[in-house]
Structure 1
């Protein structure tokens, strides 16, 4: 009943019963994992789970891969071994799933016998990057809900949170040297309701941001659960919140408000050296807050018509010896790449950043429009194709899906995600670090709505990223029926298999549903429009 499914599961005889005599122990490097396990087990069971020299539940290291684990359960005790603390942590997550689903509740559950069936489990991941992109720019997610989301990621053995912190509709990260980014850029006067071009606004102010102390807490909390937080600071498009705070960064330099609409915005950064310095200053504070190897700079959906029509930008291109606006965007991203590389980090951006000249060999691409191009050019790739991994897309053809966007992505569809597409050579395939689900929140204005969009589809993607390429969807569905009881215990408001519950619907709010053919044409028009401008 484990999700993700393990490589090997061999049932044994008997069961291990946890009671007030149950003790725990861990080798010295695993103290943090032991504390997490005690905190996970104690609320529902009410058991003390005291430490003892040779505990009933023993955590140890073994000659395995860093995220690989072995779990052995007998009537006498349980042993979790991993090649490193992360492997032991994932083994503890598996142990937790072998207990009754009520173990995920946060207060004592009476009348429940806490027994684990005897078994031998061996498991390790296929990919090193198993992620979820969470957009908090379009709709802010309070800190405690971000922490909850990290817990749900860790439960599914996902290890990378790509945190989309800035966009046209909001700047969510405190930057001390540029305080107006949050004083002004973190707030908008209203939000568009629905996906239609003429959709109304709701008339309700929206905003919020994370202080640097909040970020340190979130990053540390995630690290305790072996989740790396990769921040994204958008540039040179998707920046109207920054332009509202500092108009001198824009091409027109005219006052703007934080954008209240969804879609692609024509307002972009200018390419003066002072603007490059501004964003390098932002990145310096980002580097202090986030120890992640990768730092996201966006680079997607950047219209170039303002650059084309602006005399000063054309003069700037001549000064730099750049012939095209496409090359100008590549130059801007390249300057940020140089800055991050000098700090020992790697630039992470959407696949549009490869439309100009080549970037440094360490650049990593979030590949949303196709999976083969970047790997064939020798760049590392994180697979997140929109037609398999965009969890804001509608979940069925049912008319009551809330604000239906694009094509239907069913549970079966997302389960079919394979980060390594056919046609790559063995050397090219080595550049595929893994994959992630992308959770855009234009139409998800609360954590409840995020729950609906994400679960249980993220469970399917987690298994696709952890396990082997050959998978059995029918077996996954069988295990998922039990897994949903765990999500129930955690209070996750997932989408039921037969459609949304009444309070999960949004009657009267139009979406933008597409067929797959319409979606392909939409992406083609998007690429053509950006290229033409």
Structure 2
């Protein structure tokens, strides 16, 4: 019999921590007689809970008409909406049953994740590990709501492709941590991953590269086997629907005008043909920032309008991310055609030319009821009303955007880039970037001190953790880099900030050690253990690879 399921319920050790929790005496026991019912608006959550919790426990969780024991009741409640917002919930368990009321179906779903945690780590498995179990649940009253409305995770599938099943698995993992935005980085210099039916070469050519540098870009070693992959439009529809069932919004990213070499390799006329032989370009095999950027032509605009027309049909969310970062402007400076275009448009310099690109598509999206969001470089040259910013180069871009009246998602690389190494030891795999420990991520504060207490602070709509995949050649590496730090980030984005104290890392670490690592084990996450990597996770360098992998950044990062 499972040790965790058979034991008495212990202290509720929830991650992320709820706003308010009161423990009562006794316990609720879920068994084969336990019913599960849903009021109007909560039926979808009941289906999910019956599948997820029922699959793990083996309990049928039938509606009340088919069961006679303690019951679980799910409802959408206007009172909860008014008090706690649409993602807020109230969960009360007694020895006789459980009631879960949410401000919306999303709130009910967040509460259902809490109920699942209360059932013990084995409730996160896909099938029972023992038959005939009774599942004790502590008696509690929980009132909870998120701190931020944007609680995001960005996954880069352009550098190293993650097959659809892996993406669906990550949607389950972020849902388990009450995150609600999946930023899907679909295109870059090294690969184009989304099928566009009107432009088939984007995946026929752009989804494949003949070789890949191994490790950091300072490495002299290459994997000559090639790498690629793409999602069909039906794959995308499935991913979006799967996310919606978990009340996660998928935000697609289509990079422009830089990070576009895979597109130019597919359609060479998109590039600056008067300064580079674009017909000879392939999908980029290296890491870093490619100098091959889009040409500022009407044909380029029409091309990406066609692309985005299909993107909008696949992704119903409010936001579309258009990159806008790291656009090397050397080709525009050298191109007579680009310079003539700038003169025609009355633009003073290449910075304004990039702004022209971004403003065009911001207006195009706004005309269709959508909003552009982009990396903080899109601030250069000014933004149209309604555009939002993901602040990655530190806090400064987010501060400037918020003060200018734009919504901001804080994701500074110095704090929440999960591809950066987790410790300074020699056994860390692919030790790039700054050391960002579990404690460091937990201590991240999305609202900059410069905005705290000002009206502009309300423009910080949330935070996001980003996982870039240059060194993530296998799915296990993604798990290692993301977890457990993503659990810490989830608490930062969900749980209220204690005032005036900093967050209590010792308490968080206690909850991780006593409960949450076991949940991750049950979910099959190959996370970094608190004592250091397992033998199979340790750094093993092929002969000839430099030990420093491009001299990882030492000391504390700027913008702390």
Partner in structure 2 of residue 42 of structure 1: 54
Partner in structure 2 of residue 390 of structure 1: 417
SS at match of 1:254: helix
Partner in structure 2 of residue 346 of structure 1: 371
SS at match of 1:287: helix
Partner in structure 2 of residue 529 of structure 1: none
Deviations 1:315-336 (A, max 9, x none): 1111111110000000011111
Partner in structure 1 of residue 492 of structure 2: 464
Residue 434 of structure 2, aligned match among 404, 407, 418:
407
Residue 330 of structure 1, aligned match among 326, 343, 355:
355
Change (3 A) 1:398 1:198: closer
User: Is the aligned partner of 1:145 residue 2:172?
Assistant: no
> What displacement does 1:378 show?
1.3
User: Is the aligned partner of 1:301 residue 2:320?
Assistant: no
Partner in structure 2 of residue 21 of structure 1: 33
> What displacement does 1:92 show?
0.7
> What displacement does 1:275 show?
0.4
1:302-321 matched pairs, under 5 angstroms: 302-321=327-346
Contact (CA 8 Å) 2:190, 2:284: kept in 1 or not? yes
User: Is the aligned partner of 1:231 residue 2:243?
Assistant: no
Residue 473 of structure 2, aligned match among 429, 445, 453:
445
Contact (CA 8 Å) 1:406, 1:519: kept in 2 or not? no
User: Is the aligned partner of 1:262 residue 2:287?
Assistant: yes
Residue 80 of structure 1, aligned match among 100, 107, 117:
100
1:215-230 matched pairs, under 5 angstroms: 215-230=236-251
SS at match of 1:29: coil
Gaps of 5+ in 1: 522-533
Partner in structure 2 of residue 530 of structure 1: none
SS at match of 2:402: helix
The CA distance in 2 between the partners of 1:291 and 1:105, in whole Å, is: 31
The CA distance in 1 between the partners of 2:34 and 2:558, in whole Å, is: 57
Partner in structure 1 of residue 209 of structure 2: 188
The CA distance in 2 between the partners of 1:240 and 1:81, in whole Å, is: 49
The CA distance in 2 between the partners of 1:517 and 1:48, in whole Å, is: 54
> What displacement does 1:171 show?
0.1
The CA distance in 1 between the partners of 2:111 and 2:365, in whole Å, is: 35
Contact (CA 8 Å) 1:406, 1:512: kept in 2 or not? no
SS at match of 1:319: helix
Contact (CA 8 Å) 1:382, 1:432: kept in 2 or not? yes
Deviations 1:155-191 (A, max 9, x none): 0000000000000000000000000000000000111
CA root-mean-square deviation: 1.4
The CA distance in 2 between the partners of 1:513 and 1:397, in whole Å, is: 12
> What displacement does 1:50 show?
0.7
SS at match of 2:363: helix
Q: Which region of structure 1 is more displaced relative to structure 2, 142-151 or 511-520? A: 511-520
Aligned length: 520
Residue 540 of structure 2, aligned match among 507, 516, 520:
507
Partner in structure 2 of residue 365 of structure 1: 389
Partner in structure 1 of residue 18 of structure 2: 6
TM-score (norm 2): 0.91
SS at match of 2:285: coil
Contact (CA 8 Å) 1:407, 1:513: kept in 2 or not? no
TM-score (norm 1): 0.95
Partner in structure 2 of residue 289 of structure 1: 314
Change (3 A) 1:286 1:157: same
The CA distance in 2 between the partners of 1:452 and 1:165, in whole Å, is: 22
Deviations 1:330-381 (A, max 9, x none): 001111111101101000100001112x222110100011321211111110
Contact (CA 8 Å) 1:394, 1:404: kept in 2 or not? yes
Contact (CA 8 Å) 2:373, 2:390: kept in 1 or not? yes
Contact (CA 8 Å) 1:404, 1:512: kept in 2 or not? no
The CA distance in 2 between the partners of 1:469 and 1:514, in whole Å, is: 32
The CA distance in 2 between the partners of 1:115 and 1:446, in whole Å, is: 38
Partner in structure 1 of residue 71 of structure 2: 56
Partner in structure 1 of residue 89 of structure 2: 69
Partner in structure 2 of residue 526 of structure 1: none
User: Is the aligned partner of 1:102 residue 2:122?
Assistant: yes
Partner in structure 2 of residue 178 of structure 1: 199
> What displacement does 1:449 show?
0.7
The CA distance in 1 between the partners of 2:556 and 2:58, in whole Å, is: 54
> What displacement does 1:513 show?
4.4
SS at match of 1:465: helix
Change (3 A) 1:337 1:116: same
SS at match of 2:195: coil
Detail structure 1 runs of 4+ shifted over 3 Å in the superposition: 512-521
Partner in structure 1 of residue 7 of structure 2: none
The CA distance in 1 between the partners of 2:123 and 2:495, in whole Å, is: 25
The CA distance in 2 between the partners of 1:288 and 1:390, in whole Å, is: 30
The CA distance in 1 between the partners of 2:404 and 2:343, in whole Å, is: 28
The CA distance in 1 between the partners of 2:459 and 2:528, in whole Å, is: 34
Deviations 1:55-93 (A, max 9, x none): 700011221210001110111001101111111111110
Contact (CA 8 Å) 2:193, 2:203: kept in 1 or not? yes
Gaps of 5+ in 2: 1-12
